[in-house]
Amino acid sequence: MFERDDLIIEARHLTKSYQISRNRTLTACDDVSLNFYKNRTLGIVGESGCGKSTFIRMAVGLEKPTSGEIMFHGKNITERKGEELRLSRRNIQMIFQDPGEAFHPRMKVKEIICEPLLNYNLIKKNQMDSKARELLEMVELPGSFAERYPHDMSGGQRQRIGIARALALEPEVIICDEITSALDVSVQQTIVELLLDLQKRKQISIGFISHDLALVQQFAHQIAVMYLGNVVEILSGKEVSTKARHPYTQALLDSIFDLNMDFSKEIVSMESEIPSPLNIPDGCPFQNRCIHCMKVCRAEKPGLWEIEPDHLVACHQFNRFNYREDQ
């Protein structure tokens, strides 16, 4: 399913550390390797603050990794600059988590969404109005919004401006950082269908960060689960609900609010203390919240092993329990 020939971005062993004070460093991302393939979707889920946005910013070249390298079509682009950077930027578009902060408040919506098209001379200035309308309608917003400013819109409307802007260029790779959480479920569905349609037509590669596991598993060919800077499990979207092995992935599955759940039951939540990226423990990053933790888990960090084709897990005891079968 994942052919080397289709590899577009290959992130190899990316690590990012921030120096907080003279003797404290914060490791936001710890040796993460993930690939983006043509015509495939990679979903990334994980704890808030575990390094998803940091990883993705490095993978698209917005931030320099502390170590590791990024290959774009087999070429090392970790150190790229100037024209080279500009061209690869066109092919890799990113939609940000906080659209409110990403837009210039003095620019009208039509200027915001057409800016990249104008920059790469793909449209002329006098085509801006009609192009803006077309793009707005694509994300289910009225064409008249073209004349508004971003702060005169609701949260979910602003989010869709970011989506329209990124889709305008029809890039090879689209990275979406938490783009659906501000949208109602019906618009969420529209946006996902839009991305999938684009994928079908142009074979684009999609990176989709989201907290909504139920949503991602519907269309991700591969899901990477992150915890405290590390990838702890990689498996296909279809199999998440039946084959997840890592205790953190299982905890995620247990915390989903579902329309068919038993509403009288107390919600389960892990109350144990969340570790801080300033003090990553030796051994397994999930140890202090894991109900299966044993001595070896505190001593040795589990590597990410392939336990069956296209299914990788970083846990010493992946074999001892299989979530859904146990129930």
Partner 1 sequence: MLEIQNISVNYNKSGKPAVENFSLAVKQGEICCLVGESGSGKTSVIRAVMGNLSRQGRVTRGDIFFEGDSLLSYTANDWRKIYGTEISMIFQDSGAMLNPIRTIGSQFVEYIRAHGTYTRKEAWEKGVQMLEHACLPDGEHIMKSYPFQLSGGMKQRVGIAFSMVFKPRLLLADEPTSALDITMQAQMIRQMMKLREEYGTSIIMITHNLALAAYMSDHIVVMRDGKIADSGDRDHILHHSQAEYTKKLLSAVPSLGGDNYV
Ligand X SMILES: Nc1ncnc2c1ncn2[C@@H]1O[C@H](COP(=O)(O)OP(=O)(O)OP(=O)(O)O)[C@@H](O)[C@H]1O
Helix (H, G, I), strand (E, B) or coil at 237: helix
Question: Which of 261/299 has CB closer to ligand SF4?
Answer: 299
Q: Answer yes or no: are the C-beta atoms of 6 and 38 closer than 8 Å.
A: yes
Q: Answer yes or no: are the C-beta atoms of 230 and 32 closer than 8 Å.
A: yes
Question: Which of 79/184 has CB closer to ligand X?
Answer: 184
52 binds ligand X (CB under 6 A): yes
71 binds, among partner 1, ligand X, ligand SF4, none (CB under 5 to 8 A by kind): none
Question: Which of 158/311 has CB closer to ligand SF4?
Answer: 311
4 binds, among partner 1, Mg ion, ligand SF4, none (CB under 5 to 8 A by kind): none
The structure tokens 């405290």 sit at 228
53 binds Mg ion (CB under 5 A): yes
Question: Which of 171/247 has CB closer to ligand SF4?
Answer: 247
Q: How far is the CB of 215 from Mg ion (least distance, A)?
A: 16
126-130 contacts, C-beta under 8 A, 24 or more apart = none
For residue 134, list its beta bridge partners. Answer: none
Binding test (CB under 6 A) with ligand X, winner from 3, 5, 21, 48: 48
152 binds ligand X (CB under 6 A): yes
- Of 236-265, which residues contact ligand SF4 (CB under 6 A)? 247
Binding test (CB under 6 A) with ligand X, winner from 154, 186, 260, 269: 154
Q: Answer yes or no: are the C-beta atoms of 14 and 55 closer than 8 Å.
A: yes
275 binds ligand X (CB under 6 A): no
User: Which candidate, 187, 201, 183, 208, places its Cα nearest to that of 53?
Assistant: 208
CA atoms within 13 A on the CB side of 252: 27
156 binds ligand X (CB under 6 A): yes
186 binds, among ligand X, partner 1, Mg ion, none (CB under 5 to 8 A by kind): partner 1
Helix (H, G, I), strand (E, B) or coil at 166: helix
Binding test (CB under 6 A) with ligand SF4, winner from 60, 290, 311, 323: 290
Question: Which of 72/103 has CB closer to partner 1?
Answer: 103
155 binds Mg ion (CB under 5 A): yes
Burial per residue of 40-69, b for 16 or more beta-carbon CB atoms within 10 angstroms, e otherwise: bbbbbbbbeebbbbbbbbbbbbebebbebe
For 204, residues 6+ apart whose C-beta sits below 8 A from its C-beta are 38, 39, 170, 171, 172, 173, 174, 198
Q: Answer yes or no: are the C-beta atoms of 147 and 110 closer than 8 Å.
A: yes
Binding test (CB under 8 A) with partner 1, winner from 17, 69, 198, 219: 219
100 binds ligand X (CB under 6 A): no
274 binds partner 1 (CB under 8 A): yes
Residues that bind ligand X (CB under 6 A): 18, 26, 28, 48-54, 97, 152-157, 277
